[in-house]
Amino acid sequence: MFVFLRLSQIFSVAIGFEFKGFYMTREEAVKKIIFAMDVKEFSDVQHWAELLSPHVGMFKVGKQLYTACGPAAVRMIQKCGGEVFLDLKYHDIPNTVAMATLEAANLGVKLCDLHAMGGYEMMSKTMETLDKNFSGCAERPRVLAITVLTSSNEETLRGIGIDIPVPEMVVKLAKLAQKAGVDGVVASPQEVGLIREACGKDFLVVTPGVRPSFASTDDQKRIMTPADAVKAGADYLVIGRPIAAAESPAKAAEAIVDEIVAG
């Protein structure tokens, strides 16, 4: 037994992952990182896409960038070889959200999202529209439902009239999204285990609020390290400032990969 464990440990170091009950190659770890491209200038889009495409699995295009640059930002990332998470958090009447999400899908993004608090009808109408339009053709993007923002806590919820503990609210919204046919959710890493228990292993979980050991917490309130988030069951980690603000963003991304691999 001792010899087997010792050889396994040596083997894991040689090819890039730890022997700790699960295996994670560096390539797999890279694919889990979504870089939050929180910029507003089109020139910055090309800069970050070219710099980080080899080091992250996806780029998140949010409201500021999309409002400033529109679909051109998405196309530039794709031109540089990157995948896109279009993070516009749609929340409107069902038909409006369904049509907006269809346009996002037609851009060829890998992920897009809507607010679970928009309700069952809004989410189910969106998924029905996508499935109808992508039936028998190109693969549609995976759709995520926003649960409770990582900048929020129970005081935030009480302020808008929701008197439910955050973990309970997150699970409630995740189950509603799954019932509506949504592919997964965006949630704090602290709730990943609860979501997995309630929705199963195939339900996609994307986690912002991830801060590597070398970074500050900024305005996030429910946070976790990359390694802990992955061990909890997160499929993707959204990370922005710890990479963007580093002296060497590429090296910062590699350091995060190191943390994930080391577990």
The tally of CA atoms less than 13 A away on the side-chain side of residue 140 is 23
Please provide the DSSP assignment of 23-72 as one string: ---HHHHHHTEEEE-----HHHHHHHHHHHTTT-SEEEE-HHHHHHHTHH
Q: Which residue has the tokens 């990182």?
A: 33
Residue pair 256/242 in contact (Cβ under 8 Å)? The answer is yes
What total number of domains does the chain contain?
1
Q: Report yes or no on 15 lying in a domain.
A: no
Give the per-residue pLDDT at 15: 37
Q: Report yes or no on 2 lying in a domain.
A: no
Q: Report yes or no on 194 lying in a domain.
A: yes
Q: Report yes or no on 137 lying in a domain.
A: yes
Q: Report yes or no on 14 lying in a domain.
A: no
- Stretches where the chain sits below pLDDT 70 are 1-22, 137-138, 215-223
Q: Which helix (H) or strand (E) holds 93?
A: none
- Long-range contacts formed by 163-166: CB under 8 A, 24+ apart: 166/191, 166/222
190's CB contacts (< 8 A; 6+ apart) are 167, 209, 222, 223, 224
DSSP-derived secondary structure letter, 118: G
CATH number of the domain bearing residue 121: 3.20.20.70
Residue pair 170/156 in contact (Cβ under 8 Å)? The answer is no
Give the per-residue pLDDT at 5: 36
Which residue in the list 89, 172, 175, 221 is annotated as catalytic? 89
- The residues that bridge with 61 in the sheet, in sequence order, are 86
- The residues that bridge with 33 in the sheet, in sequence order, are 237
Q: Which residue type sits at 244? A: A
Q: Report yes or no on 4 lying in a domain.
A: no
Q: Report yes or no on 5 lying in a domain.
A: no
DSSP-derived secondary structure letter, 203: S
Give the per-residue pLDDT at 221: 52
174: left (phi over 0), alpha (psi -120 to 50) or beta: alpha
Give the per-residue pLDDT at 24: 86
Domain that holds residue 228: 22-262
Q: Report yes or no on 250 lying in a domain.
A: yes
221 is catalytic: no
Structure tokens at 208: 């912002």
Model-level pTM? 0.87
Distance CA 126, CA 79 (A): 28
Give the per-residue pLDDT at 216: 55
Give the per-residue pLDDT at 210: 84
